[in-house]
């Protein structure tokens, strides 16, 4: 029980490496070990979350070193929730990806793809849990490297987008390292809490400003915030179909959480230029929300629609950070949780449709609801949630963001929030129209030679996302209460 925070990361890491060996003995065995390890992470993260809610923030010291010296894992209710989210969607994605094994020619590549997917989960979990700035860099690179591989596995276009992402992503990682170097130069510590204490003594505003000028673009690139989103649409669209839900649903959120930590936990509101930084982040998110939605309207490939819509949705999250009151931060994190299930769910549906009929063009989706009722149910509920129709989670997160903006008197933010939601309605209602009203295209079912599909592994993720979108919406007050335990007193008042 005491070692759960470390085991959450270590279990999947060991399983991922073990898989390379086990895969040579028996293909199923390797996969089973991976799935079990991620399931164990999921269970442990639920326990840790329950413990955090009752007893408060957990500080886990690696190897029992005293604090500024060693590496620390810090778990409060915010990242406790995010860890549950990452391991849940990771678990579902691992099951889901079984159905896309036909793409890999040899057993070795198939096993390696599973290992890389698990390493992506490890990186995301580690980035969320860690309380050490350099440790964050290492996990950031684990995440990035496995993401490059998974995007490159998506075929010819995938390789091309993966290389572009690699260039941009490495620039981001280098900027992050430079920001850390500057902060380390003035504080002499790498521990986040210790660094926050030293920075709060004051007198280091110039160096802090220089560092944040590198850190915001670094996280901006990783989370695909508006002017830095160039790599994102093609990378999300052409990534390997079995891994796409995790990449699109979760990968952009964790750097956003890291940015929150830098802005509010390390820098804090006492920082002299804090409000200017918030305004810059706000401008980025406002333009992103409009740009992403407008570009999404013009697409016909469903993956491209969803990728551009992600540019807009990340804008909502950073808008919450830009408003900066505790209630806005709650809205941002609720949107982070909700959007992971919405976008993940939409990509689970896209993957299922692609698996059955081999198409991703929404023009072909005519009356597809007759053939895949469950999938289309989730598709519809996720689309409605994106637009913000109650009682889905999308409505409530936008409600919290909007009311926080109104309380702060940020009327531009509120107006853009509403306009962006209306633009969302345009392309998501078009999608719903194709699914339910357009004439039947009588698609042919895809036939696989020598490959057995596993039906429940396609259905389970879709159903879980359906329940999660509605559940998070109905239980939003509960979630906000849990988030508030940690966010009270953080941010502007």
The reply to whether 273 sits near another protein by the rule CB under 8 A is no
Residues 187-226 within binding reach of another protein (CB under 8 A): 190
The reply to whether 399 sits near another protein by the rule CB under 8 A is no
State the Cα–Cα distance between residues 64 and 72, nearest whole angstrom: 9
The reply to whether 17 sits near another protein by the rule CB under 8 A is no
In angstroms, what is the minimal distance from the CB of 290 to another protein? 18
Candidates 43, 53, 171, 419; binder of another protein (CB under 8 A) is 171
The reply to whether 185 sits near another protein by the rule CB under 8 A is yes
The reply to whether 340 sits near another protein by the rule CB under 8 A is no
The reply to whether 134 sits near another protein by the rule CB under 8 A is yes
The reply to whether 287 sits near another protein by the rule CB under 8 A is no
The reply to whether 167 sits near another protein by the rule CB under 8 A is yes
Candidates 14, 67, 170, 197; binder of another protein (CB under 8 A) is 170
Backbone conformation region of residue 489, classed left if phi is above 0, alpha if psi is from -120 to 50, else beta? left
Candidates 7, 122, 145, 352; binder of another protein (CB under 8 A) is 145
In angstroms, what is the minimal distance from the CB of 141 to another protein? 5
Choose the stretch contacting another protein; rule: CB under 8 A; options: 180-188, 345-353, 374-382, 454-462: 180-188
Question: Which lies closer to another protein via its Cβ, residue 133 or residue 330?
Answer: 133
In angstroms, what is the minimal distance from the CB of 235 to another protein? 12
Question: Which lies closer to another protein via its Cβ, residue 4 or residue 308?
Answer: 308
- Torsion 52-49-403-221 (CA) sign: positive
Question: Which lies closer to another protein via its Cβ, residue 170 or residue 269?
Answer: 170
Candidates 157, 370, 446, 478; binder of another protein (CB under 8 A) is 157
The reply to whether 419 sits near another protein by the rule CB under 8 A is no
Question: Which lies closer to another protein via its Cβ, residue 118 or residue 392?
Answer: 118
Choose the stretch contacting another protein; rule: CB under 8 A; options: 83-91, 123-131, 147-155, 334-342: 147-155
Candidates 51, 68, 103, 160; binder of another protein (CB under 8 A) is 160
Candidates 56, 230, 358, 390; binder of another protein (CB under 8 A) is 230
The reply to whether 152 sits near another protein by the rule CB under 8 A is yes
- In the complex, the residues that contact another protein under the rule CB under 8 A are 134, 137-138, 141, 144-145, 148-149, 152, 156-157, 159-160, 162-163, 166-167, 170-171, 173-174, 177-178, 181, 184-185, 190, 230, 233-234
């Amino acid at each position: 029980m005491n070692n759960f925070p470390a085991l959450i990361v270590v279990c999947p890491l060991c399983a991922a490496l073990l898989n390379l060996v086990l895969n040579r003995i028996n293909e199923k065995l390797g996969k089973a070990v991976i799935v079990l390890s991620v399931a164990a992470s999921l269970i442990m993260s639920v326990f840790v979350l329950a413990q955090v809610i009752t007893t408060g923030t957990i500080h886990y010291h690696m190897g029992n070193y005293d604090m500024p010296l060693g590496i620390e894992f810090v778990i409060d209710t915010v990242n406790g929730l995010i860890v549950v989210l990452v391991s849940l969607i990771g678990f579902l994605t691992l099951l889901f990806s079984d159905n896309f094994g036909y793409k890999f020619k040899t057993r070795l590549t198939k096993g390696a793809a599973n290992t890389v997917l698990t390493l992506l989960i490890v990186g995301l979990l580690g980035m969320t849990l860690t309380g050490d700035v350099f440790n964050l860099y290492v996990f950031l690179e684990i995440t990035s490297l496995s993401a490059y591989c998974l995007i490159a596995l998506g075929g010819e276009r995938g390789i091309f987008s993966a290389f572009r992402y690699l260039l941009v992503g490495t620039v981001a990682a280098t900027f992050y390292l430079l920001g850390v170097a500057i902060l380390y130069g003035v504080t002499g510590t790498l521990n986040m809490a210790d660094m926050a204490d030293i920075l709060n003594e004051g007198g280091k505003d110039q160096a802090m400003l220089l560092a944040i000028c590198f850190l915001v673009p670094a996280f901006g690139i990783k989370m695909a915030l508006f002017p830095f989103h160039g790599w994102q649409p093609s990378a999300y669209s052409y990534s390997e179909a079995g891994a796409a839900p995790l990449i699109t649903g979760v990968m952009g959120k964790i750097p956003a959480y890291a940015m929150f930590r830098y802005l509010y936990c390390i820098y804090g509101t006492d920082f002299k230029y804090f409000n200017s930084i918030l305004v810059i982040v706000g401008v980025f998110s406002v333009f992103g929300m409009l740009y992403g939605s407008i570009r999404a309207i013009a697409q016909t490939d469903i993956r491209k629609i969803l990728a551009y819509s992600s540019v807009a949705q990340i804008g909502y999250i950073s808008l919450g950070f830009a408003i900066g009151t505790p209630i806005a931060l709650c809205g941002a994190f609720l949107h982070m949780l909700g959007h992971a299930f919405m976008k993940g769910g939409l990509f689970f549906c896209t993957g299922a449709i692609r698996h059955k009929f081999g198409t991703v063009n929404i023009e072909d989706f005519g009356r597809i609801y007759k053939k895949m009722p469950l999938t289309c149910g989730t598709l519809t509920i996720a689309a409605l949630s994106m637009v913000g129709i109650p009682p889905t989670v999308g409505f409530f997160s936008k409600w919290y963001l909007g009311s926080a903006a109104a309380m702060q008197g940020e009327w531009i933010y509120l107006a853009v929030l509403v306009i962006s939601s209306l633009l969302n309605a345009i392309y998501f209602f078009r999608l719903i129209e194709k699914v339910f009203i357009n004439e039947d295209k009588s698609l042919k079912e895809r036939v696989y030679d020598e490959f057995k599909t596993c039906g429940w592994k396609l259905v389970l993720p879709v159903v879980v996302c359906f329940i999660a979108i509605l559940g998070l919406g109905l239980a939003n007050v509960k979630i906000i209460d849990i988030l508030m335990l940690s966010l009270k007193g953080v941010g502007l008042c």
